[in-house]
Structure 1
């Protein structure tokens, strides 16, 4: 997919809009890496991806997933526009940061003031390449702005005379090169104010100490799209830092009836038939309209079956979205969306047509060959997943349990769709023995270790709530982490590591999907990619009873020892925000694309026990 500029860099108001191809990214990257509001470097310039209202989307690229549409309250999903005229003309990007510097004349100013020739990024005075500002400021509410170089140098050392409007202010950026620290980066002004280095600019209180507040800028939506007030503290970030943009993605599996042939074929006709329903048209009239559509061409479905499917879709749309308050996706592994999937995965499917998107059958055998602790193994031979970009945050990543309420705007005006991709794959769904789990999660060891993570997570949630001005009392904000969740999550990680060695898939090609609540204890390990790597059959084979027994035994044996032990096993806190215990990259951590909680809430002691208490491990069978 092509990335295209908006207006020419020096265009006037009456100039025509030109959209010059600047670079390309994969469609999937616009959901995870280069989505709306993200920064992207292309050659010697830096850009920010524009909002959804600047995207040119096409009816042929509509994606349907009724359950996820209902949950996110959108009419449809759209594939990001490709770079071919028949399916789009790429994404729009805007220059950001707007401040550039010249390495020869040292000037530090807005790009447009350099007089660079159209299509180039060079200084108009010395004809040397320009460099976009290395630093930006952002806040947790998603706002982002150029680093305030003028305020930084003047508020530190300026006098009233220096700030007078009669005094000319021309900034320069110089580096002594003596060290790699920010102390060597010095900002000077022609007004004669004392130069100031950028030392200390990354501190949490650097901006508030100088009285610099967040201006509420949203450059991805345009120059005039700022918000009037923002109480969040602006923080200095490097332009290419991962903290400059965190995607908030939501996903759902296509399960019956929405994965079935009839609902798939109904997608392109549903809007018209929905209008009939909502206008009170009698069913007899709607049946005649259905008979005139191509839904009836091959005779697979009767008009009555189609009408029943229309009514079912309409009932879903008009029902209240589950958890429709601010905690809609709080602890995703236990929400209603996952609960529907859990029951379908647990029960499986019987007769499945070739063009349907979901096929799940129980592994052959009577269960005697299943490993200890595993109650059921289901082979998911076909699955389809839709992943949508709901929003994004900056500075700190979204809360791993799903309770974060920060949402940056994706468009300046209201839109009824979100960008999404659909992927196909296969997987294995494992259910842990409920009775054994209930007994295990009452033991002192699992309770104590889980409580350590619970305390750290609860403290983090309360700090973020206080910063965002939440009206909830601190006592109402609690972590949802339980021993059961830590067990299932860590089990998924060790199996992904093991299966990546056994079946030939790289760990990054495998993903986890957790189903954890007081009455759920399941994990889906699957491939879901846009290419053939997602459907080669290698993962499904791991779910057969005898094979599963072998790989789980091997995975637990590997988990018993880590090259970073004893510090890893004896750690009282590790990982991001101290939300792990015995977990590091030498044992259970995975590529971030494989884990749905950013590699937190992990503890391999939940599987194999702690040195001083082997009974902490779920798979510990006693002497």
Structure 2
């Protein structure tokens, strides 16, 4: 990572100083544009994408193509973030934030410029001590970010209404050390006002009571003007997970898009479509455009037909975009069910999905259909935007903060080449189970809490999205978590290296568990091996028995509401919750009682028979 240099008129371009390293995948999921990152004793905000397309070299930040996902997000292609190790030529730009610092020796608290540090250093000139960035920042639900208003905080109640000028004194920050609470952090001013602690700064109305509005600042965007914002600002810890949360969209490369032909046609789609009505002219064009490669006209026409069949909602609205994203999932589900045999493909094929060779009889009592072994899989995961204060969810509406000041034709993304196992539940058994009154009652409680959360976060009360909390969805989601935890124990996979992909609505009842990283835990055949019927049946029985008991019971199994927004029932970090990167729904909409039942009513568990068999 490299912070932008001070601008000097006429000065030659110099090498930018480096400040730490992160993995490329973290630039999408953890330290993306607009996030705060701590490096040694300093803190920075990752800069926006303005100018990045020209600054990033193609060698270190290659272009990624995924035509289906690009159409939905309204971009032409994606870029892999550049590496930031010692051998890389460039890196991700960062900007210093927060700008308010304190000195641990003299306790001075002021803007970093007030310490007058020498170039390239972040020290107190008087004490020669490393400065400490402010632990507290201010953010709002529209993504704005600013320094905590220390002066207004310490002078509250000691200035006339409407007074905006400073008193001329100098602020001091010290820690009493008596406790680890906010009460021990004391702010004072040399003007003589009473010392104030940081206690109460995290109350929702703390800044509103001080009549501190949102500043509308976007420090991650260069030269970005302050926006008018009516959202109330909130005090947050600099390292809090809600300071930055990514809005991710992903897609699997499935036939006919998975053989690399669509990538080679990138940039030529408009011309190809012009000649599509006349195959002979199309063949001539392809011969001229690819003189050293034989491109099948029928294959190109098949791609065009597949694109036309995908829900072509041209309005670009968020509702239309979400509808097309659901259609994308449905296409993936159909392809995972149909499979794509390895013998029928060449080495360029990025999607290979086959049923296991073994007998599926061991799975018959479990309610699982014959699994599909996804031996070759490519996923493109793009960073569309980010949010603050409220974590994004696939159904909860959040304000999406932009990654750049001006619209771009690309987005940062990562691609994962891995493997997975696709599972489906028996539809007839699932329908009989979902019709149970006790099952419906538990899911109704989850849905009611989730719908309340959706209403609270909706910008338009008349357009609140529907909650996906249905019996089959909650069951599939909890089952995916239980199997990931089981495989992490039995097969040696870290839970964070596996990821779920749910396919649940009135026409779908499946889940894909696949490798979420492309490192040493990515594609070694270990996940596919777990999908063999005999081993899968054993893992399922073990997972169900393990889910029967939680170290937090009886509190966990008897809980009326848990999790964010009370959108879980019997689910906690001791039983079925996963690392955030492994779950599509931020550990919401979970209930292990739907797997194993409750002590009072074991029959509501879909797999309750496995506990007695």
TM-score by length of 2: 0.91
Q: Tell me the secondary structure at the aligned position of residue 229 of structure 2.
A: coil
Pair 1:478–1:517, CA change in 2 (3 A): closer
Q: Which residue of 1 aligns with 2:538?
A: 550
Once the two structures are TM-superposed, the CA of residue 178 in structure 1 deviates from its matched residue by: 3.1
1:413 partnered with 2:406: yes
Once the two structures are TM-superposed, the CA of residue 607 in structure 1 deviates from its matched residue by: 1.1
Pair 1:275–1:595, CA change in 2 (3 A): same
CA contact (8 A) 2:140 2:234 kept: yes
Q: Where does 1:430-449 land on structure 2 (aligned, <5 Å)? A: 430-449=423-442
1:5 partnered with 2:6: no
Once the two structures are TM-superposed, the CA of residue 519 in structure 1 deviates from its matched residue by: 1.2
1:230 partnered with 2:229: yes
Q: Which residue of 2 aligns with 1:156?
A: 157
Q: Which residue of 2 aligns with 1:422?
A: 415
Q: Which residue of 2 aligns with 1:288?
A: 284
Q: Which residue of 2 aligns with 1:218?
A: 218
Q: Which residue of 2 aligns with 1:207?
A: 207
Separation in structure 2 between the aligned mates of residue 582 and residue 98 of structure 1, nearest angstrom: 43
Q: Deviations over 1:408-443 (max 9, x none)?
A: 011011101110000111111111001111111110
Separation in structure 1 between the aligned mates of residue 236 and residue 355 of structure 2, nearest angstrom: 50
Pair 1:614–1:331, CA change in 2 (3 A): farther
Once the two structures are TM-superposed, the CA of residue 221 in structure 1 deviates from its matched residue by: 0.3
Separation in structure 1 between the aligned mates of residue 164 and residue 608 of structure 2, nearest angstrom: 71
Q: Which residue of 1 aligns with 2:113?
A: 112
Pair 1:522–1:279, CA change in 2 (3 A): closer
Q: Where does 1:18-29 land on structure 2 (aligned, <5 Å)? A: 18=14, 19-29=16-26
Separation in structure 1 between the aligned mates of residue 276 and residue 328 of structure 2, nearest angstrom: 30
Separation in structure 2 between the aligned mates of residue 444 and residue 395 of structure 1, nearest angstrom: 37
Pair 1:564–1:320, CA change in 2 (3 A): same
Q: Which residue of 2 aligns with 1:460?
A: 453
TM-score by length of 1: 0.90
CA contact (8 A) 2:23 2:84 kept: no
Q: Where does 1:54-203 land on structure 2 (aligned, <5 Å)? A: 54-55=51-52, 56-59=55-58, 61-83=62-84, 89-159=90-160, 167-203=167-203
Pair 1:17–1:46, CA change in 2 (3 A): farther
Once the two structures are TM-superposed, the CA of residue 588 in structure 1 deviates from its matched residue by: 1.5
Q: Deviations over 1:207-251 (max 9, x none)?
A: 011111111110000353321x21211111111111211111111
Q: Tell me the secondary structure at the aligned position of residue 270 of structure 1.
A: coil
Separation in structure 2 between the aligned mates of residue 330 and residue 339 of structure 1, nearest angstrom: 11
Once the two structures are TM-superposed, the CA of residue 57 in structure 1 deviates from its matched residue by: 3.0
Once the two structures are TM-superposed, the CA of residue 312 in structure 1 deviates from its matched residue by: 4.5
Once the two structures are TM-superposed, the CA of residue 133 in structure 1 deviates from its matched residue by: 0.9
Q: Which residue of 2 aligns with 1:345?
A: 336
Once the two structures are TM-superposed, the CA of residue 472 in structure 1 deviates from its matched residue by: 1.6
Q: Where does 1:236-251 land on structure 2 (aligned, <5 Å)? A: 236-251=235-250
Query: Among 444, 464, 484, which residue is 2:472 paired with?
Result: 484
Q: Which residue of 2 aligns with 1:571?
A: 559
Q: Where does 1:9-48 land on structure 2 (aligned, <5 Å)? A: 18=14, 19-48=16-45
Q: Tell me the secondary structure at the aligned position of residue 330 of structure 2.
A: helix
CA contact (8 A) 1:377 1:543 kept: yes
Separation in structure 1 between the aligned mates of residue 108 and residue 319 of structure 2, nearest angstrom: 47
Separation in structure 2 between the aligned mates of residue 179 and residue 553 of structure 1, nearest angstrom: 48
Question: Which runs of no fewer than 5 residues in structure 2 stay unpaired?
Answer: none
Once the two structures are TM-superposed, the CA of residue 265 in structure 1 deviates from its matched residue by: 4.1
Identify the range of structure 1 (608-617 vs 192-201) with the bigger mean alpha-carbon deviation: 192-201
Q: Deviations over 1:69-103 (max 9, x none)?
A: 11111110100022489986111100100111122
Q: Tell me the secondary structure at the aligned position of residue 267 of structure 1.
A: helix
Separation in structure 1 between the aligned mates of residue 250 and residue 165 of structure 2, nearest angstrom: 55
Residue correspondences, number = 603
1:336 partnered with 2:336: no
Q: Which residue of 1 aligns with 2:521?
A: 533
